A = this chain, B = another copy of it.
Amino acid sequence: MAKISIKPENKSFEYVPGKNLLKLLLENEVFVDNPCNGKGSCGKCKIRLLEGNLPDMVETEAKLLKKEEINSGIRLSCLVVPQGDIVIEILQKEGKHKILTTGYVPDFEFNPLIHKKIFKIEKPTLENQSSFEEAICNTFDVEKFDWRLLQQREFMIGEVTGVFNGRELIGIEAGDTTDLLYGVAVDIGTTTVVTSLIDMNTGKELATASMINAQKNFGLDVLTRITYEVEHPEDSKEKLQYAIVNSINEMIGDICNKSKVDRRNIYEISIAANCTMMHFLLGIDATSIGKSPYAPIFVKSKNILAKDIGLEAAPGARLYCLPSVSAYIGADIVAGAYVCQLHKAKENVLFIDIGTNGEIVLSNHGKLLSCSCAAGPALEGMNISSGMRAAEGAIEDVKITESGIEVKVIGEQEPIGVCGSGILAVVKELIGVGLVKKDGAFIKKEKLEESDYRYNMLQLDGKKREFVLSSNPKKLLITQSDVRQVQLAKGAILSGFYALLKKANINMSELDKVVIAGQFGAHLPADSLVGIGILPEEVRDKLVYVGNSSKTGAYMALMSADVKEQIEKLAHQIDYMELGASEGYERLFMECLMFPS
């Protein structure tokens, strides 16, 4: 065991060497900003070494730090693996309102719509036989309440705690329970669902959980699931809804267990998701999203009873669904645009959420224009022959050199599959070493000398060419079809990128910043994004990572009534451009399919 001490706080903890410093700090509840999720790309997780030694800098680290910083002992905690006792200084102070464990959160004031108040209800008398309902309404400043609250209780007397959603009473509890008030922030992605338990008295994230969206059984992307809905009108809405509601309920159980919180003290569940996921969540027909002119049933925010869709929390708990803009610019993107304050940007900022659907929002000094591109699930490791989600055993990075194939595996164990960032890395490398041509086709094996280091990396399955990524313990292949999946995703996103700039009449040099959002995007280094041409070479130095801004938006809405209001306004400020309907788009898409040479 070795020891890490933190000055001037005089906090210290022991550790087993082997992990990087950022992980050790976060595990021991020392907050360090890390928008890129510790991927060594954002350069934010700075600490200063005061005593002891750290291993030498790698090139990436040196590039991200200024000379003065290096000279004064500053290091990037995600890129160093300490081996012995050290004393360090944390350079950012923990922002009062910056309490999510990952991702970027702007400063904001806490004033949750959900709150508690204590009151005393007088005992009725023969002279004053006032009903319980009147006693409540006279005691609290109640604008309205669901009559079903009256079903929960006998006549209560004395100290009671009222739970409010604004001026609406949503819960009555005996005694003083003001210290027990929890909320849940959820991001429902087409592929992955992430859930956070929040202490609404402090804004602290107590625990998180994530899982693959159980709707994957009905299709891997939005359109396939809508097709499923159309083809099974008898019960598809119920099945799709049950799949997601049940998953969220399970995760709530999980995070409550981890934090020893009673789920009956959860009074709000705040959810961001794309428009189709939101329809499925509420059991609302999404078929009109699947066909031109792509008009959804609803886009507005919803503040409804959580139990009305089967979510298990306090009986009166609310479900807040963030607003969407249109069928293909969902609440996840509105949340991200809000988290990044795109509407207040004083420059030209392009926001990209890379997921099964890729959405792009361009802020032209605050004027917002968006588009959406069907990237498919390949970038998240789905629909890929050896694909898997980013979990232990997944290859997340790949280097191909003359000395062979080097893979980095999550959890540092033997590889059992390839996750999204791994797919991107391997395709980038395949292009780099010339195994995949600009048009996406593998080169012919017979064109390689047998002595070429790349010769044994290719194999043939009948006429199909495949790249052998790993053989031990399990053969992991990258097939021609896998490369095509990535290529289609890349073409979709890059063409959206160009189309949006063109529509806004902004050229590449006028673009000040490119924000990469999404939990998945946070795992994609600039090298991969630019290397396979998802983004053009010119933006390499303009990339900023904000992590899962969809969940962050849901969190902020949970913790602030003002944020709810502002997000609802923001949804109306985002214009939407239907790519398919824009002139010359087909040709642009074809051009964008080309990999960089």
**A residues in contact (CB < 8 Å) with B:** 124-126, 128-134, 147-148, 150-151, 153-155, 237, 282-285, 287-288, 292-300, 302, 304, 308, 326-327, 576, 578, 581
CA distance A531 to B217 in the complex (A): 78
From B125, B134, B299, contact of A131 by CB (8 A): B299
Residues in chain B near residue A308, CB distance under 8 A: 148
Bound complex: CA of A124 vs CA of B151, how far in Å? 43
Given the interface pairs A124-B295, A295-B155, A297-B155, the reply to whether A327 lies near B129 with Cβ below 8 Å is yes
Query: Whose C-beta in chain B lies nearest to the C-beta of A298?
Result: B133
Q: Which residues of B contact A148 (CB under 8 A)?
A: 308
Q: Is the CB of B133 within 8 A of A297?
A: yes
Contacts of A285 in B (CB 8 A): 151, 153-155
Residue of B151, B293, B304 near A282 (CB, 8 A) is B151
Q: With A308-B148, A326-B129, A576-B129 known to touch, is A154 a contact of B295 (CB < 8 Å)?
A: no
- A294, A298, A327: residue with the most chain B Cβ atoms closer than 10 Å: A298
For A303, give the chain B residue with the smallest CB separation.
Answer: B147
Interchain Cβ contacts under 8 Å between A and B, 12 examples: A124-B295, A126-B292, A126-B293, A128-B293, A129-B295, A131-B296, A131-B298, A133-B298, A134-B299, A134-B300, A150-B282, A155-B295
Whole-angstrom CA separation of A288 from B126 in the bound complex: 12
Chain B residues positioned under 8 Å from A283 (CB to CB): 151
CB atoms of A581 and B126 under 8 A apart: yes
By a CB distance below 8 angstroms, the chain B residues around A147 are 282, 298, 302, 304
Contact A287 B129, CB 8 Å, known A124-B293, A302-B147, A308-B148 = no
* Across-interface contacts of A124 in B (CB, < 8 A): 293, 295
Q: Which 9 pairs from chain A and chain B are nearest by CB?
A: A124-B295, A133-B298, A155-B288, A132-B297, A126-B293, A129-B295, A131-B299, A126-B581, A131-B296
Q: Residues of B contacting A153 with CB < 8 Å?
A: 285, 297
Instruction: Known contacts A154-B288, A155-B288, A304-B147; decide if A129 and B282 are in contact (CB<8 Å).
Output: no
Given A155-B288, A288-B155, A297-B129 contact (CB < 8 Å): no
Contact A154 B287 (CB under 8 A): yes
Q: Do A133 and B326 touch (CB < 8 A)?
A: no
Question: In the bound complex, what is the Cα–Cα distance between A156 and B285 (angstroms)?
Answer: 11
Closest to A233 in B: B154
B150 contacts A297, CB within 8 Å? yes
Q: Separation in Å of the A294 CB from the closest CB of chain B?
A: 6
